[in-house]
Amino acid sequence: MTEIAVVATFVAKPGNEDKLKEALQGIVAPTLKEPGALQYDLHRDIKEPRRFVFFERWLSEAALAQHNQTPHIQALGKTLPDLIEHGEISVVAKL
Amino acid sequence: MTEIAVVATFVAKPGNEDKLKEALQGIVAPTLKEPGALQYDLHRDIKEPRRFVFFERWLSEAALAQHNQTPHIQALGKTLPDLIEHGEISVVAKL
């Protein structure tokens, strides 16, 4: 199995920062319980407070795919469009 | 001291991927020798091979500032403009 990483960036619509922060923080605990989750760190940009960045490490691409099907990620997927003006998810491999 | 993190993204100009990869890989070893470097992972986007992403964790903002003054980072700063079409460095705080 080859480890995979994800950098996911979300920028809140003006005024939605607190709601977005709460929604993103809400998925950290259940995600860290997933067997393939090696690292799942949520950050906030120190210069742009509407910008949140996840850095994630997964045991395999299959573990990441399973993560994307979990109830907490499916639920987030439904609420995010109202909260964000920009979202970008990059799947990356460590060199 | 409060830990700080950095997500740094560099996109190579077409044809410069190998040179950029080599230049970025070249700073990993000397950086990991720096006392404040907690994590310094270089990745390549699995869908966009011209795109490279560092995920970094630093002991403090001071350690990061010191890193930016090191010879290997100063040297990289001189070569990057010729190699990349886009670069973005976000300093972020873990929530």
- What is the predicted ipTM? 0.92
Write out the two tokens for B21: 């990869």
What distance in Å separates the CA atoms of residue B90 and residue A84, rounded to the nearest whole number? Answer: 18
Do the domain assignments include residue A59?
A: yes
Helix/strand/coil for A59: coil
Do the domain assignments include residue A80?
A: yes
Per-residue pLDDT of chain A (95 residues; tens, 9 = 90+): 799 999 999 999 999 999 999 999 999 999 999 999 999 999 999 999 999 999 999 999 999 999 999 999 999 999 999 999 999 999 999 99
Do the domain assignments include residue A25?
A: yes
Do the domain assignments include residue A4?
A: no
Do the domain assignments include residue A2?
A: no
Nearest to B53 by CA among B11, B22, B15, B91: B11
What distance in Å separates the CA atoms of residue A85 and residue A82, rounded to the nearest whole number? Answer: 8
**What's the mean per-residue pLDDT of chain B?**
97
Q: How many domains does chain B have?
A: 1
CATH number of the domain encompassing residue B30: 3.30.70.100
B70 CA: distance to closest CA in chain A (Å)? 22
Cα dihedral sign, B18-B20-B22-B28: negative
A56 CA: distance to closest CA in chain B (Å)? 10
Band (B17; pLDDT cuts 50, 70, 90): very high
Domain membership of residue B80 as a residue range: 4-92
Which residues does chain A have within 8 Å of residue B24's beta carbon, measured at their own beta carbons?
95
